[in-house]
Amino acid sequence: MRPISTRARALTAAAAVSALAGAGAVAIATDASAAAGCRVDYAVNQWSTGFTGNVTVTNLGDPISGGWNVTWAFPGNQTITQGWSATITQSGQNVTATNPSWSASLGTNATANFGFNANYSGTNTAPSTFKLNGVACTGTVPNSPPPSSPSSPPPSSPSSSPSTSPSVPTDPGTKVDNPYANAKGYVNPEWKAKADAEPGGSRVSNNPTAVWLDRIAAIAGTDSSSSNGSMGLRDHLDAALAQGAGYIQLVIYNLPGRDCAALASNGELGPDDLPRYKSEYIDPIAAIEGDAKYKNLRIINIVEIDSLPNLVTNTSGQAGGTAMCDTMKANGGYVQGIGYALNKLGAIGNVYNYVDAAHHGWIGWDSNFGPTADIMLQAAKASGNVNNVTGFITNTANYSALQEPYIQPTVTVGGQNIRQSKWIDWNQYTDELTFAQAFRTKLVSIGFNSNIGMLIDTSRNGWGGSARPTKASTSTDINTYVNESRIDRRIHAGNWCNQAGAGLGERPKAAPASGIDAYVWVKPPGESDGSSSLIPNDEGKGFDRMCDPTYTGNARNGNSMSGALPNAPISGAWFSAQFQQLMANAYPPLS
């Protein structure tokens, strides 16, 4: 849900130089010399001695199939130190960016995007001329009139530069306010087959669930015709078209140093692998999502679970802070990685980005609430434009109850506010719906668009069955009252791995409440959160004691038992016992 505006296609070089005067400014420069069949948008995000450059080239001429290069000359002492999504070389002031192996073709009106980091001193003036395969880029088709005369320069662009995905021109006008509204969701046939194989699983197997792209190999998939094969991104998109689906949900989940405060969901990329994240992970995803074949399919990206909140709550000085979270905060890998993903994917006309915003039991306290919203805005601005964010999602792969009718924070028992209880622990929120609506209001107040939408993952937060309270406790002791009245039956609200007693929650539903775009099943029910004991694997997934049912806890969960189910496989693997429990404890109940 976001307003749509069409950005200007080009700026004169003089205008770009002027815009670059302020630190952190974003500018676009296009050569205004002789007529050519290409256009280049050049943008920077700079600081006192360095900058990040983002280049988008659009081929307005004949298709290119044998490879391409973009060349330019820096007018000053700019020196490139690192590049991605192209092979970038520099000799003196002259720079050449050559296509990556997976993107050698550039059709008419197709675009490619690449970027770099660079140092400079003095004035960081934008290049005045770019060439595509030796032909100067003026932003016009050969033999066509220029878009404006020298006396009427083109209008300045907004201070944003969302890149355009390869293979398809951006068409922001195709965006809708809520991508879930009036649309059929994609049913992942791989998850459906596993659910159908379980007794009673056919009762839920037709619900749309998300596809997790949790490593580079997941983009291509493996031989789906074999018993151990898996579908790749194109396979899923093609299957969505075959189903006549209106939307598909994808989890973008492979940041460098991923999940810095846990081990079960660690990833394949190290803390310094941001260039690989961009060139080997995000760029190929953007190229596929941007294929015109899928232009009528709403592609919904859930962007990087459990990342940005870790930088607020799990660094030095916080209970349970980790060295890895310190590293990722210091090197900017999370903020810059998410910014890059939002930039690349947000530029595609039928793509919608929802950024993960943790859950109430993580950032519901005032000390976490505001700072987490601030770092969300920082990442959005790193993308070049907050418009690259459609909305946010809470409770992803978590168990927080959707609504707590009996333990709202305003309740008093025996003259005491129940926020003082051990379970609530002074949190301002006790359920996800109230939290998501309040967090949305906070996000809008600091600069996000007023019509952003929220998603809530309800795949495992139903907490039905015989243990579900049906009325408030009559106890006058606040701890007893809360424990007897709460829907969420976890031992501690910080417990997150394969929770015993959990049940399926609300089925996927569009626009269920004010400010909420949808209730969704992003975590496919039946897929493990992590292994109960160490299981060697080639997916980079470690063993976290929070998944061990014998673990007595740590500072982050109040030194409580983990509440995890036994005999669990590695994260993402099928966990039959969990699936059966989720169905048995579903709320609303299954028929």
DSSP 526-556: TB-SS-SS----SS-----GGG-TT----GG
In this structure, is residue 7 part of a structural domain?
Answer: no
CB contact at 8 A, 438 and 378: no
Residue matched to tokens 């031989």: 223
Beta bridge partners of 252: 213, 303
Return the half-sphere exposure (C-beta side, CA atoms, 13 A cut-off) of residue 224: 14
Is 591 a member of any domain? Answer: no
pLDDT at res. 106: 83
Closest CA to 301 of 354, 344, 341: 354
Residues 440, 307, single domain; the answer is yes
Are residue 194 and residue 146 in the same domain, yes or no? no
Contact 16, 51 (CB under 8 A): no
CA 157 to chain centre: 26
- Of 141, 161, 181, which residue sits at a domain end? 161
Buried (b) or exposed (e) across 26-55, using 16+ Cβ within 10 A? bbbbbbbeeebbbbbbbbbbbeeebbbbbb
Q: 409-417 — which CB contacts under 8 Å span 24+ positions?
A: 413/475, 413/476, 413/477, 413/478, 413/481, 414/476, 414/477, 414/478, 416/478
pLDDT at 102: 66
Q: Is the dihedral of CA 260, 448, 389, 27 positive or negative?
A: negative
Cα dihedral sign for 287, 345, 461, 180? negative
Q: Is residue 94 part of a domain?
A: yes
b/e burial code for range 337-349 (CB count within 10 A of at least 16 → b): bbbbbbbbbbbbb
Which two three-digit tokens encode residue 581?
């429990």
What pLDDT is stored for residue 228 in this prediction? 61
> What pTM was estimated for this model as a whole?
0.72
pLDDT along the chain (591 residues), means of 10: 30 31 34 57 81 85 87 94 85 92 77 85 92 88 44 31 34 74 97 97 97 94 66 96 97 94 81 95 96 96 95 84 91 95 95 97 94 96 94 98 96 96 96 97 96 97 95 97 97 94 98 97 96 87 90 86 96 95 97 88
Q: Are residues 307 and 455 in the same domain?
A: yes
Instruction: Say whether both 155 and 187 belong to one domain.
Output: no
pLDDT at 210: 98
Residue 195 to residue 209: CA distance in whole angstroms? 12
Q: Does 306 participate in catalysis according to the annotation? A: no
Q: Give the DSSP H or E segment for 82.
A: strand 79-84
Q: How far is CA 473 from CA 6, 273, 465, in A?
A: 56, 52, 18
Residue 417, burial from CB neighbour count under 10 angstroms (0-12, 13-18, 19+): middle
Q: How far apart are CA 567 and CA 577, in angstroms?
A: 9
The CATH number given to whatever domain includes residue 77 is 2.60.40.290
Looking at the 3D structure of the chain, how many domains does it have?
A: 2
By C-alpha distance, which of 183, 76, 67 is closest to 121? Answer: 76
Domain boundary among 134, 161, 188: 161
Q: How far apart are CA 104 and CA 110, in angstroms?
A: 12
180 shares a domain with 129: no
- Which residues make Cβ contacts (< 8 Å) with residue 367, sequence separation at least 6? none
**What pLDDT is recorded for position 223?**
62
Q: Are residues 124 and 227 in the same domain?
A: no
For residues 213 and 151, state if they share a domain.
no
Residues 580 and 479 both lie in one domain:
yes
Amino acid at 282: I
Side-by-side strand order, sheet with 516-520: 211-213, 247-252, 298-303, 351-356, 391-394, 453-457, 516-520, 509-513
Of 338, 291, 298, the closest CA to residue 208 belongs to 298
Shared domain for 498 and 525, answered yes or no, is: yes
- How high is the pLDDT of residue 316? 86
The predicted pLDDT at position 554 comes to 84
- Residue 363 has a pLDDT of 94
In a domain, 4, yes or no: no
Please, is 589 exposed, middle or buried when counting C-beta atoms within 10 Å of its C-beta (0-12, 13-18, 19+)?
Answer: middle
Range of the domain at 59: 13-161
Residue 558 located in a structural domain? yes
Beta strands in 126-267 (DSSP E): 130-132, 135-136, 211-213, 247-252
Which secondary structure element, helix H or strand E, spans residue 83, and what is its range?
Answer: strand 79-84
Tell me whether residue 53 is in a domain.
yes
The values of phi and psi at residue 72, to 5°, are -160, 170
- Tell me, yes or no, whether 157 and 178 share the same domain: no
Residue 310 has a CB neighbour count (10 Å cut-off) of 27
Look at residues 161, 188, 215 and tell me which one is the last residue of a structural domain.
161
Same-domain check for residues 178 and 142: no
The single-letter code of the amino acid at 199 is P
* Distance between first and last Cα of the chain: 34
* Helix, strand, coil in percent for the chain, rounding step 5: 25, 20, 55
Q: Which two structure tokens, joined as six digits, stand for 51?
A: 């900058």
Omega before 588 cis (within 30°)?
yes
Annotated active-site residue in 31, 214, 259, 517: 259
User: Is residue 166 situated within a structural domain?
Assistant: no
So what's the pLDDT on residue 157?
29
Q: Give, in degrees to the nearest 5, the angle at Cα 361 between 356 and 362.
A: 55
In a domain, 292, yes or no: yes
Q: What is the CATH number of the domain that holds 398?
A: 3.20.20.40
Are 155 and 112 contacting, i.e. CB atoms less than 8 angstroms apart? Answer: no
- Residue 189 and residue 126 share a domain: no
